[in-house]
Chains A and B, each alone.
Chain A
Amino acid sequence: MSSHWLSRSFILLAMVLSTASLWGQGGDPAAGKTIFKNYCGACHNKDMKTDMTGPALGQAEEHWAEYPREDLYVWIRNSQALISAGHPRAVELWEKWKPVQMSPFPNLTDEDIENVLAYIHQEYTKEPVTAGGPGDGVPVEKADYGWLYWVIFVVLAVVAMVLSRLIAQFRYLNELKAGNVDAQKPAFGQMFRSKAFLTFLTFFVLAWLSFTVVNRAINLGRQQGYQPEQPIKFSHKTHAGLHKIDCKFCHDGARRSKHSVIPSANTCMNCHRAIKVGSTYGTAELTKIFASIGYDPTTDSYIENYDQLSNEEIEKIYTKWMRDQYMVAHGDFDALGETAVKRQWEDVVAALTHGEEDAKIQGPIEWVRVHNLPDHVYYNHSQHVEVGGLECQTCHGPVEEMDVLRQYAPLSMGWCVNCHRQTEVKAFKDNPYYQSYHRLHEELKAGKRSKVTVEDIGGTECQKCHY
């Protein structure tokens, strides 16, 4: 039995290995990358090693190796079909991941799938990239060895204590030997009163204090992790993650301007004229956009002279809409509904008005700014997005996973400079602009340098960002 099992697995392993190498040759990883980004990337982690919404894909081929290749194709095109058919691997996965269903992709050809698999294989076997690297959407956590210092510290402290105790004991014995009758047996606490220890302690405390003070002072005004509540419960996870709307679709300034631009209400209306009720909050959040711009979802039209309407008139329009939708959802409008609509409306008013100075419901939505740079810093989105070809996630983190947006990066000068030091100028060879750096080009050609970083062309100089 065991030998049988062994031989079978050996054959399997050989098969896997041989086919794997075949597959690797069969697909085009570059083409696969695009497909991965368009179809898979929203749920499957790009590093292929860790799970996300969907499982890590790194070993998918191995897991499916014992079944015909076509099974994997079917699985990727329509997983639910395979599950219903009772395919063992499919059922196993379903048991582990339900109720999350994988979206069907009937349009993918066998070739496409091979390309994606080749890309997955390539990514899986690649060396991990440090956080902040170009195009690296999801940074890899660095291993934290901080605890080791503490262990060493404690061990050393114990050794020091034992040694000092030994020295004290030996000194005492020496004194006794020399005939000093007054010699006292060293008490345990004596060592903590010794000059050496006190000096060390003072030095240590001072050093620690200054270190902390300086660090804290440097961090004043920085807001990494800042996650304020916004007037609208807008979820990037829903929009960028689930529906995979390109960041630059709404933040259209990022391609051409220094500002990425908070989308205006009419940008929202591009889609929300059709999607009038939200999946999570129903009418509660989307009504805020409608009330801001003056769109009446009941009649599907923009309200004439909206600017002149009083708050009461506006209330009538939108509470009617909320009530109607409540009816649609619950089939009946009861006291509970009344409270719900009332609460929703209060929430809308609170989100769109700001005390006495701005008591009007109409007008812009005042979002809370999450990423704040000081006034003396010049930052240009288009330089990074359009010229540098960076992914938004490099600085903004996995926005597609955030329900409430959070400041991912420290946005400190050190962080900026560090990236400029490490990042390669991708367009250096192709963009004619960079041809004026002829010496760097020669060096690249001669193989004297492997890449040109932003720093090499002056990207860490003061007046690149401060003027």
Chain B
Amino acid sequence: MKKKNQDFWVGVDQLQDTQKFEEISANEFPSELPLANSLSKEDLLGAQASRRDFLKYLGFGLGAATLAASCDIPVKRAIPYVVKPDEIVPGIANYYASTFVRGGDYCSVLVKTREGRPIKIEGNNLCPLTQGGTSARAQASVLDLYNVNRYQGPGKMAEGQFAPISWADLDRQVKGALSSAAVIRVLTHTNLSPTFQAVLDEFTARYPGAKVLTYDPVSSSALLQASEAVHGQAVVPDFRFDQADVIVSFGADFLGTWISPVEYARQYASRRRVKDVEHPDMSYHVQVEAHMSMTGSNADKRIQVRPSAQGAAIAALYNALAGKNGAPTVSAPALKGEAAGEIQKLADRLQKSKGKALVVSGSNNLGDQLLVCAINQLLDSYGNTIGLDQISYQRQGLDREVHQLLDEMNKGAVDVLFVLGDANPAWELPYAAEFREAMKKVKFKLSTAGVPNETSSLCDYIAPDHHYLESWGDARPKAGVYSLQQPTIAPLFDTRQVGESFLRWAESPNFDPGTEEEPPYFRYVKKWWKENMFTRQNSYSDFQKFWDHSLHDGIVTVPSELAGLSANAVDVSAAAALQEKPSSAELEMVFFETVNIGGGQYATNPWLQEMPDPVARTTWNNYMAIPIFWDGGIEWKAFKGLNQQEIYGKADKVEVEIGGRKQTVSCIRQFGLAEGTLAMALGYGREQMGVCGYQEGVNVNPWIGLDKNGNVRYYATEVAVSDKVGEDDAFACVQYHHTMGVKGTDPQTGEELNVDEKTVMTLKEGYQGGLTNRSVLYYGSTKNLEELVEHIAEKRAEAQEWVEQSLYPYDKYNEKFYSQGHHWGMHIDMNACIGCGACQVACVAENNVPVVGRKEVSRHHEMTWLRIDRYFFGDYKNPHVAYQPMMCQHCDNAPCENVCPVAATNHSSEGLNQMTYNRCIGTRYCANNCPYKVRRFNWLDYSTADIFPANEPYVEHEDIPFGADNLTRMVLNPDVTVRSRGVIEKCSFCVQRLQEGKLTAKKEQRSLSDADVRTACQTACPTGAITFGDMNLKEDLAAKLDSPLNYYVLEEVGVRPSVAYSAKVVNTDEELTPAKKHESKEAHEEHGEG
């Protein structure tokens, strides 16, 4: 399948019609003007302006200017504290260790606060799980604190309307209901807090009719049940991806969403870096899945199987290994197609790495999970790549518990229902409609949601919980790892921590009313720690010292509280009987959790909504991924011939019917889908949540069913898709935005085009920027790594020749400026980069990058300073993927600087490409001249920074722009200017952090070290793929810059970028590069013959 003359590509249109693609990509800005509606070309050309008009406007202008000039400068106030807290110095950030917890999602964090406002989340280096890494979700969580839609106090729901009441009233009502209730049910997502667990225990002890039921928004029920059967406890074993030489994942997106992605990503990346070119020593990762997940995109090999054949694939692997190890085999349906052979090969590979192999599965089928346990037992994984002492608590939800609740509710047996926090059963369950009906039969329903959701609107009372940044608490993600949560701001609203509420309702003897500084729940947590944690350590003899130290670090590790789990034998034939059978349906649809908005609980966060999905590169919507076919000639066809206009920002809409439910969805063409498979993301189409994300996308939950064991089954088999029924004109997919450096074909001859040879003159047609056949991406396999190194060296030497022909006296600059003082640079390891997007959200948070909304994204107007370019390469049918974080390259011969008519962008002696917003007049010449397409233009006042906000309360087609209210503005970083309309902006290498780091070094009278200057993207990265530093220092960065795999993007254009990338290496026997030239020749020949 690997043909045609493309060695890597971003999407189908580039493969199909290179000329059209180049036309589009040659324009930095789309041809459609943003204000085209109001100012069409005809109007402008035919406009009549008389001399009188001119004079009128001139007169008015002068008059207005005079008036404006005579206005007084407004009086500004400086308001000091009355009693200044010792720890706050205005202008200096304080960092507090805390814990980001949302259901089972966990990240130990440092919260950066300025003048008492939390504004940024950083990773906590002391945490053994995350080791300073973060996820996009953790990065974005600070924005939820300032969500304008939060409940501002307790309330009573009457006919769907929220009516505020007092906490005393609410408590009276609750206690009244509890005293007469026989059956009380508390429904929650995974709870990681041992202290809150203690509270719930007190509650259930006080009310014998009470029971706590747990489920997860995206279920891992089968995994827990399998654990229960094999290990005797429903817990997640300790997967150690860093210990495995061979990793096989059956649909588990362990780098993106599965159980503990930050932890796993760090482990995984530690074995994926090429430290030594001669001995790459990479782990081998095989992903067996139906649609390309983020984890699958990083795999060395993907085996595509339809979702319903997943179980058969697991069984096939089990049988193959059982045969080799003399274990009993199971009867399983045969695998169709190439997959069967691939599984056999995989079994050989696994068998060779016995004891060094790890097999995981994201399946929610108990049979699948049991067989995976059996496979791991055959491979001696337990004790090697799967630990049984440090088990994880990060998923606790069992689907059967919600079914039981539903049954009870239907019978009218439940008197009181408490729904905690994010739990949103009336929306996120597959049988949400049924649940909604059943809720009507419950006499007393209360939600502790902080933000309105579909369930809280159906409850009788709302007892809103604090945001985690306002809360005291703790978390135990893994046995022996305890993490503390402390408030970094006083509660913004009249909310109350759910732990305190339950203590009050349970009439707990341990309830201590406390004081304003020490709220009841703080006292309770402290007491719990004194009784349970203090006794388990030996380092401190004084509790207060232990407490202070723990609070400061945010993390305490103690010996695991569990004795090692047992590993019983799996009854494999019983397990196989529990598996789902492959379907023979023509079409199947797989439902997956996205990295950004999860099961829908993160849909209220605009930063996450606007973060593109790593693989599909879509925002603000869940598009139905449709497979693409290539007939081997020049024609590419998507499923049903849909989405031909994708490159112009148009997606087709189709009607999809599953299980009798019909919905209209938009499509996106996608590589790497198993034949006959469609894919859609969970979590979109929320209905009650406030403004952001409201009804963005389609709710797929009603399409989801249960498997025969009663667990949620994340695929559907009987799918009917109609022909095109309409067009989605706000197709917010960024895959064709800001493309650069991809090759093209001469439309006349069909030859590969290089503008150096065929200039604009001979072609009579311009290819702006001349960026064809350039060094954008280097990749290779472990098999021909040496060739890759040679190839890079050769290309770089060639590029160097071009670079040296520059008119600009670089050597002079280098001698005078860059060689002394600082010369900032960055290194990005594309082998460690998994595409998770944490850096992108961190950049948005750090640099006050505005959110623009779906419509604006569809018009190429996204403002992100850092984008993650996703390139496909290799086989068309089953391509490999490289992620390339792309930000301003801070070129030392920057082409953008020369064309600025007002010198708003220029170069610093430290090698920074500086952007001065106040000087910028918005010609956008710089953006047009940027070969990397990293400059962004504020077409509209996205940040509402203009002095007179009333001038523009609406961004076209959007509601009031995000961030136009003072609550949301509290998240802004005061050290970074908020840009207004009409200026260009771009990555500054976090210059505010550089300046701060330099100042710290100066004040401490010492020389700078790389640790002083860490950019936001670097600190956010869970895998440490980004290294930033001073190229003149022989430290972290210099060590990274040594690798022979390093190259600079578009080095040959002579702009001297400061960001080095190291080539993508895939651990496979395929020869991926550098035999590019031969390939393309062959392709031409074949093409000619055809």
Contact = CB atoms under 8 A, between A and B. Distances in A.
A48 B336 CA distance: 99
Given A387-B999, A433-B1006, A264 B69 contact: no
Contacts of B1007: 432-433, 435-436
B662 interface: no
Interface stretch (B79-87, B253-261, B502-510): B79-87
B908 A462 contact: yes
Interface in A387-441: 387, 427, 431-433, 435-440
B1003 A382 contact: yes
B1008 A436 contact: yes
B560 interface: no
Contacts of A439: 815-816, 819-820
B918 A466 contact: yes
Given A220-B69, A256-B92, A261-B89, A266 B78 contact: no
Nearest to B1030: A436
A431 B1008 CA distance: 11
A263 interface: yes
Interface string B988-1010: 10011001001101110111100
Nearest to B76: A369
Given A369-B76, A431-B1005, A457-B821, A266 B89 contact: no
Nearest to B903: A462
Contacts of B1002: 383, 387, 427, 431, 433
B977 A228 contact: no
Contacts of B822: 436
B83 A367 contact: no
B78 A367 contact: yes
A368 B84 CA distance: 19
Contact of A367 (B79, B92, B909): B79
How many of chain B's residues touch chain A, expressed as a range?
A: 35 or more
Given A378-B975, A431-B1002, A221 B73 contact: yes
A466 B905 CA distance: 12
Which 7 A-B pairs rank lowest in CB-CB distance, beginning with the nearest? A257-B91, A264-B84, A264-B81, A258-B91, A259-B91, A463-B914, A262-B80
A65 interface: no
Q: Which of B77, B78, B822, B910 has the most CB of A within 10 A?
A: B78
Contacts of B1001: 433
A380 interface: yes
A369 B919 CA distance: 26
B756 to A, nearest CB: 34
Nearest to B68: A220
Contacts of B1003: 256, 382, 386-387
A171 interface: no
Interface string A41-67: 000000000000000000000000000
Given A262-B79, A376-B917, 6 more contacts: A256-B92, A264-B84, A265-B80, A292-B82, A431-B1005, A437-B821
Given A433-B1007, A437-B821, A382 B999 contact: yes
Given A368-B76, A375-B977, A458 B910 contact: yes
A432 B929 CA distance: 40
A364 B81 CA distance: 6
A349 interface: no
A467 interface: yes
A95 interface: no
B916 A433 contact: no
Contacts of A263: 80
A301 to B, nearest CB: 15
Contacts of B999: 380, 382-383, 387
A221 B84 CA distance: 32
Contacts of A217: 69
A364 B912 CA distance: 42
B914 A462 contact: yes
A367 B77 contact: yes
B75 interface: yes
Contacts of B915: 463
Contacts of B750: none
A464 B995 CA distance: 8
B384 interface: no
Contact of B906 (A257, A367, A462): A462
B976 interface: yes
A182 to B, nearest CB: 43
Contact of A368 (B75, B81, B816): B75
Contacts of A194: none
Contact of B92 (A257, A264, A364, A464): A257
Interface string A123-162: 0000000000000000000000000000000000000000
B1005 to A, nearest CB: 5
Contacts of B988: 463, 467
A263 B83 CA distance: 10
B43 to A, nearest CB: 33
Interface string A436-454: 1111100000000000000
Contact of A228 (B69, B75, B83, B820): B75
B1032 interface: yes
A374 B945 CA distance: 13
Interface string A314-340: 000000000000000000000000000
Q: Which of A217, A263, A382 has the most CB of B within 10 A?
A: A382
11 contacts: A216-B69, A264-B83, A265-B83, A368-B76, A369-B76, A380-B995, A383-B1002, A432-B1006, A439-B816, A463-B916, A467-B992
A461 interface: yes
A293 interface: yes
Interface in A261-299: 261-267, 292-293
Contact of A366 (B77, B91, B909, B1008): B77
A369 B78 CA distance: 5
A223 interface: yes
Contacts of A368: 75-78
A461 B908 contact: yes
A368 B80 CA distance: 11
A391 B906 CA distance: 32
A111 to B, nearest CB: 32
A421 B881 CA distance: 51
A463 B76 CA distance: 26
B89 A253 contact: yes
Contacts of A104: none
Interface in B909-962: 909-910, 912, 914-919
B90 interface: yes
Q: Which of B75, B89, B991, B1033 has the most CB of A within 10 A?
A: B89
Contacts of A463: 908, 912, 914-916, 988, 991
A365 interface: yes
A363 interface: yes
Nearest to A464: B995
Contacts of B916: 462-463, 466
Contacts of A375: 977-978
A3 interface: no
Contacts of A382: 999, 1003
Contacts of A258: 91-92
Contacts of A372: 73, 76
A253 B91 contact: yes
A352 B77 CA distance: 13
A133 B75 CA distance: 31
Contacts of B912: 463
B908 A458 contact: yes
A461 B1005 contact: no
B80 A365 contact: yes
A139 B308 CA distance: 84
Given A466-B977, A467-B991, A364 B80 contact: yes
Nearest to A458: B909
Q: Which of B82, B89, B908, B912 has the most CB of A within 10 A?
A: B82
A382 B819 CA distance: 28
A381 B937 CA distance: 33
Nearest to A438: B820
Contacts of A366: 77-79
